Structure 1
Amino acid sequence: MIHYILQTIAFQLLFLVVYDLFLKKETFFTWNRIYLLATPILSFLLPLFKIEAFRKAIPEQYLVQLPEVVVGGESAQKAIALNSVNISGTTTSFLTISEILQALWLFGMVVALLLFGLKLFKFYKLKKSGVSKKAGKLNIIQLPKGNSAFSFFNTVFLGSGLSEKHQKTILLHEQVHAAQKHTADLLFFEALRILCWFNPLVYVFQKRMTELQEFVADSCVIQQQNRKTYYEGLLSQVFQTHDISFTNTFFNQSLFKKRIVMLQKAKSKKIFQLKYLLLVPVVCGMLFYTSCTQETGVGDENASLTQKIADLQADIESKEMSKEERQAFINMVQKTLSLKDENNKIIIDKNGVVTSIAREETNTGNGDVPFAAIDKVPTYPGCEGMSNKEAKDCMAKKIQQFVASNFNTKVADKANLTGKQRIFVQFKIDKQGNVADARARGPHPDLETEALRVVNTMPKMQPGEQDGEKVGVLYSLPILFMVEE
């Protein structure tokens, strides 16, 4: 979900950049209005689309869980056999991060909704404080004090301090807002502000729409009134405004300069409408990105689950478990994976040891193959000429030996560490057979640094292959560092 929100915000930012750079100064007001209304909606929809043609253009990466590497003295390794874990006694946190974020989002929505309610109440009080009269299709509310001028659908609010000449100009202006339903546009953005209160770009979109609506109304009024007279009308008084974001305010001082500049601007040539074609490569780029990237939230859950399994694996392997207990553990893990994501596949050997976890598409016709069925797995030096299963087992043993023999155990002395220390490392064997994108998570930065150093010094390997194409393969490697006391 977090990845989806970040994509939405990024797409909205890109749409705004295109608007400000290429479209904002053009006089294609109707097209710009459609653009400002459509692109926020597009930003919510595009992350949901996955185009298989784009996805197939990027080689699939596979994830395999390596057995845990035990680092430490001989007595420390023997201590593992005496240690056990009570699975049924484990506890979970009261609230997950996801639940906390959801609660925060709902709280923000409630606050935003209350603020919108206050705006409606303020609007209602203004309406009740004035004198109502009809002028064609418009309902005019004459406010007893001030020089305010704004509209809400077909209702126009005019301050009693405005001269009759100015009121006539304002009514022409507000008739355009009423006829083109500009208030509906602003209410649309009010709804977005409630739903996405945390997203500052929604407020920017609403501001751009407010500017555009004033340009539209000015361009219509100027056809019925002398341009110079209209300029003088805008500049001749000091005006008061009411801060109600879903009303069309005539006297918005921050917009005066922009409105006058746009009034002086010549009508844009039709050839400039080709600028809207910029949306084609922009949208295609967004679709390519969403199709070729996995959901971060899913990836994080997979990584977390892998690490939890790896964390338990060393203890479970050494624990004397009955057949029923071991089968119950296998069923628990398989059920957990199916609840998290139906597209996950877990491979457990007869002893209950997790050997790999892979992403597998439900559509078997798309050519994606999990690690367990990859044509040729990455091959560690010295493991050449073996079957896939033998090569995987050989590679796991070689990596265990390499890490155990190269890990600097003196790092514990510098960090003053004692007891069990677990480090989780993820790395990729890329299409060239090199170790890449290594990441580590551990209880101390020095342990993370040492784990990354060891993993990055592993020798070059033969890359994995699928359907004759070299592919990247992700590995998750848990390291258990037993510190002698």
Structure 2
Amino acid sequence: MTPFILYFIKVNVALAVLYFFYKLLFSKDTFFGLRRLMLILIYITAFTYPLLNLSDWMTTDNSTVGQVVSTLYEKVLPEIAITSNTANETSGYSWIKTILIGIYASGAVILLTRTLIEIGKTCTVLHRSKKAFIDGIRVCLANGKQEPYSFFGWIYIYPDMHSAKEVKEILIHEQTHVRECHSADILLAQIAIILCWFNPFAWLMRNEMRINHEYLADRKVIANGYDKKTYQYHLLGLEHTQLAAANFYNNFSVLPLKNRIKMLNRKRTRNIMKSKYLMFIPVTALLVLFSNCTNTAKEEETEVKEEVKFVPMEVQSDTVNVQDEVFDVVEQMPEFNGGNSALMNYLRENIEYPKAAQDKGMQGRVVVQFVVNTDGSIVDVEVVRSVDPELDKEAIRVVSNMPKWKPGTQKGKVVRVKYTVPIMFRMK
């Protein structure tokens, strides 16, 4: 699984988890400002927490034993993965992958194009419309009957469609959207939908964002002294065929209107309940922990801790067992010409997945041990963990034919040093 796909999975899991978290704890209270902040944080958290890599910190051990073990593992080379290249498997995997990528890309491109067209049309209409001031507020005048809406700094309205009192209510409502930059929130939600269009929770999150904006604007109208009951009739559109006080991004169905009216009449939530918003911190911490546990598990797959033969206890001190001709750890470890990256490239380019093993469906991790001699040559190559004779033979062949290394030294003397390399043979 590629890092990008793993990142994408984590983002969509977070959107689902945090949506349920929001609905369960916050969707019924009247702290609309805090709810808006929570929704924004959900988007930010979902797209950033997979990028926080704490695996090194999680696995750090400052004890003396931990330091010795870390040093001993320096002789274990990174795992090299070799995959099969059979035609049928490759082609089968390839066309499925291509189709899935094509479906995702098509959906994202369609939504992006549609969004840009709608924004372009809206900006064109607002730019070309006549401008006027109503109660000191600059507005764009519609040419005919049109539901009022706002988009960033613009308010679009057809005054002849409403009474003077209704116009004032609408302007207070839409000014709240403009002043608090609600359009930016919706664009953020729309970007999330474009990237995660197949995830229903991305769409549900945008709905929550929209309806909370309306709660904020409705509360502002009532706070300015307008009669709550009259305003509710206004929302229901009993006086006009078009719904008033509508935001550009909202098509008010019966359910959202019902929720808005219910929220207008809901008793204010007690301030002590604001403390529950702090629960977002441990939930975010759990997501980060989940992400880094995944990262750590993935990194541990490339190690073979259980197969490593540790040196005797007397080597786990500041002195080296000089009685042994082959050392596990020395002051200056041997080095492949070009370093570990060059070594990995050499193994990757030279190891071939045996056809006989592919036919039998054999796969697994072969662990090879070898000694870097005093002249840098590779000797005493052996398999310490076997999977299949064909795979073992191929691993030994390539390791035995490695070019000479720079030998290791201990106390200024060239010595022989033992290494272990895991080679993962994997069928596609």
Give me the whole-angstrom Cα distance separating, in 1, the residues matched to 2:277 and 2:364.
52
The 1:233/1:64 distance shift into structure 2, 3 A limit, reads closer
The code of the aligned residue for 2:259 comes to K
Task: Look up the SS of the partner of 1:24 in the other structure.
Answer: coil
The code of the aligned residue for 1:167 comes to V
Is the contact made by 2:15 and 2:43 (CA closer than 8 Å) also made in structure 1?
yes
2:344 is matched with: 334
The code of the aligned residue for 1:334 comes to M
The 1:126/1:45 distance shift into structure 2, 3 A limit, reads same
Q: CA deviation at 1:218?
A: 1.0
Task: Look up the SS of the partner of 2:133 in the other structure.
Answer: strand
The 1:253/1:356 distance shift into structure 2, 3 A limit, reads closer
1:229 is matched with: 230
The code of the aligned residue for 1:199 comes to N
2:166 is matched with: 166
Give me the whole-angstrom Cα distance separating, in 1, the residues matched to 2:106 and 2:345.
33
Is the contact made by 2:365 and 2:423 (CA closer than 8 Å) also made in structure 1?
no
For structure 2, list consecutive stretches of 5 or more residues without a partner in the other structure: 62-75, 304-340, 352-362, 371-380, 392-421
Task: Look up the SS of the partner of 1:259 in the other structure.
Answer: helix
TM-score, structure 1 normalization: 0.53
Q: CA deviation at 1:115?
A: 0.3
The 1:23/1:297 distance shift into structure 2, 3 A limit, reads same
1:218 is matched with: 218
Task: Look up the SS of the partner of 2:155 in the other structure.
Answer: strand
1:199 is matched with: 199
Task: Look up the SS of the partner of 2:189 in the other structure.
Answer: helix
Give me the whole-angstrom Cα distance separating, in 1, the residues matched to 2:96 and 2:300.
15
Give me the whole-angstrom Cα distance separating, in 2, the residues matched to 1:223 and 1:266.
14
Give me the whole-angstrom Cα distance separating, in 1, the residues matched to 2:130 and 2:259.
33
2:278 is matched with: 277
Q: CA deviation at 1:13?
A: 0.9
Q: CA deviation at 1:29?
A: 1.6
1:9 is matched with: 12
Give me the whole-angstrom Cα distance separating, in 2, the residues matched to 1:149 and 1:253.
18
1:23 is matched with: 26
2:141 is matched with: 142
The Cα offsets for residues 398-451 of structure 1, whole Å up to 9 and x where unpaired, read as x869xxxxxxxxxxxxxxxxxxxx9xxxxxxxxxxxxxxxxxxxxxxxxxxxxx
Is the contact made by 1:356 and 1:372 (CA closer than 8 Å) also made in structure 2?
no
The 1:220/1:250 distance shift into structure 2, 3 A limit, reads farther
Is the contact made by 1:3 and 1:295 (CA closer than 8 Å) also made in structure 2?
no
Match runs of 1:175-186 below 5 Å: 175-186=175-186
Q: CA deviation at 1:106?
A: 4.1
Give me the whole-angstrom Cα distance separating, in 2, the residues matched to 1:280 and 1:195.
25
Give me the whole-angstrom Cα distance separating, in 2, the residues matched to 1:182 and 1:262.
19
2:52 is matched with: 49
1:133 is matched with: 132
Is the contact made by 1:210 and 1:248 (CA closer than 8 Å) also made in structure 2?
yes
Give me the whole-angstrom Cα distance separating, in 2, the residues matched to 1:152 and 1:337.
58
The code of the aligned residue for 1:231 comes to Q
Task: Look up the SS of the partner of 1:222 in the other structure.
Answer: helix
The 1:164/1:56 distance shift into structure 2, 3 A limit, reads same
The code of the aligned residue for 1:179 comes to R
For structure 1, list consecutive stretches of 5 or more residues without a partner in the other structure: 66-84, 303-330, 340-345, 347-353, 359-370, 374-388, 402-421, 423-473, 480-485
Give me the whole-angstrom Cα distance separating, in 1, the residues matched to 2:31 and 2:424.
54
Is the contact made by 2:149 and 2:248 (CA closer than 8 Å) also made in structure 1?
yes
The 1:332/1:51 distance shift into structure 2, 3 A limit, reads closer
Task: Look up the SS of the partner of 2:20 in the other structure.
Answer: helix
Q: CA deviation at 1:206?
A: 1.4
1:260 is matched with: 261
The Cα offsets for residues 365-400 of structure 1, whole Å up to 9 and x where unpaired, read as xxxxxx979xxxxxxxxxxxxxxx99x65x74xx86
Q: CA deviation at 1:191?
A: 2.7
The 1:192/1:478 distance shift into structure 2, 3 A limit, reads closer
1:151 is matched with: 150
Q: CA deviation at 1:148?
A: 1.0
2:112 is matched with: 113
Is the contact made by 2:186 and 2:209 (CA closer than 8 Å) also made in structure 1?
yes
The 1:293/1:223 distance shift into structure 2, 3 A limit, reads same
Greater shift, 267-276 or 233-242, is seen at 233-242
Is the contact made by 1:149 and 1:250 (CA closer than 8 Å) also made in structure 2?
no
Task: Look up the SS of the partner of 2:161 in the other structure.
Answer: coil
